[in-house]
């Protein structure tokens, strides 16, 4: 049996699962550094030029794949199959600076089924230098066939646990459709900063995905309610990317939830 470190060193594909966007993307960059680091040790040094470029988002051999925006600048609901096909074609172009070429698929759970099937093909027979890191709220948002080709890394922490509890409380209040209690909830948490608000919205999405896949139950919440709240999450995440203040976003959630 390989230990976790050996398993990661011998794998070419990973799923980093956490409802906390910040935690999983931080882990993804740290993992990418392991394959790009100039020191070639068991762990990345985080000090060499290559590691610094990875962490700053400017390394030519680290390729981000994420949802595109539509003509109005709004994020599309899914990562499309054409994006994954382009990634697969690009994977056969050798890295320019490093021995490895790392593809970071942010929000991999948003890949539609054709996109996941296209990803499966390159995951099954990748070039020797290609590494794929899939970030998702939960591994269960990905097809079993995709999961079977990846090493799973679950990322948790005290902050993630606390934010998940907040998300659960919010959805239960939303299911009861009681504006007064929702206002009290958001009033109690109006001091959340941008990072925690981002994690909160992501955790709400994760819980709603569990509800829609019948893995969670919230008394009084309908599927229509869940889809409406997911649309609200999309709107909140779009505003966060536009650097709208956390307090304004929480206020929007308070007003538009019911």
Q: Can you name the residues that pair with 75 across neighbouring β-strands? A: 69
Residue 158 pLDDT > 60, yes or no?
A: no
Instruction: Using pLDDT thresholds of 50, 70 and 90, give the confidence band for residue 3.
Output: very low
pLDDT at position 1 is: 30
- In the numeric block, which tokens belong to residue 150? 């990846």
The pLDDT value recorded for residue 2 is: 36
Report DSSP state, residue 107. Answer: T
* 93-140 pLDDT, tens digit each: 999 999 999 999 988 988 999 999 999 999 999 999 999 999 998 888
4-154 is a CATH 3.30.470.10 domain: no
Question: The whole model's pTM is what?
Answer: 0.66
Q: State the residue for tokens 């896949």.
A: 213
Please give the Cα distance from 213 to 223 (Å, whole number): 10
For the cut 80, the answer to whether the pLDDT of residue 8 exceeds it is no
Q: List, in order, residues 6 or more apart from 184 with CB less than 8 Å away.
A: none
CA distance 38 to 92: 22
Asked if residue 75 lies in contact with residue 63, where contact means CB atoms within 8 angstroms, the answer is no
């Amino acid at each position: 049996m390989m230990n976790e470190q050996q398993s990661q060193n011998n794998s070419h594909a990973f799923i980093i699962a956490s409802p906390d966007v910040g935690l999983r993307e931080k882990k993804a960059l740290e993992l990418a550094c392991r394959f790009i680091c100039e020191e070639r040790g068991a762990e990345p040094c985080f000090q060499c030029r290559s590691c610094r470029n990875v962490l700053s988002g400017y390394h030519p051999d680290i390729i981000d794949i994420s949802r595109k925006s539509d003509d109005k600048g709004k994020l599309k609901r899914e990562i499309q199959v054409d994006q994954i096909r382009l990634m697969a074609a690009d994977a056969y172009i050798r890295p320019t600076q490093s021995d490895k070429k790392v593809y970071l698929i942010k929000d991999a759970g948003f890949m539609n089924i054709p996109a996941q099937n296209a990803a499966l093909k390159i995951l099954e027979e990748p070039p020797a230098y290609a590494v794929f890191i899939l970030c998702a709220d939960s591994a269960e948002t990905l097809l079993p066939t995709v999961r079977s080709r990846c090493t799973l890394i679950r990322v948790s922490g005290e902050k993630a646990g606390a934010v998940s509890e907040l998300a659960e409380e919010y959805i239960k209040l939303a299911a009861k459709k009681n504006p007064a209690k929702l206002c009290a909830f958001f009033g109690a948490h109006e001091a959340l900063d941008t990072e925690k608000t981002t994690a909160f919205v992501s955790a709400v999405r994760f819980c709603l995905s569990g509800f829609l896949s019948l893995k969670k139950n919230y008394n009084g919440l309908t599927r229509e309610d869940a889809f409406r709240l997911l649309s609200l999450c999309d709107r909140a995440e779009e505003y966060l990317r536009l650097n709208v203040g956390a307090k304004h976003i929480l206020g929007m959630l308070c007003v538009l939830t019911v």
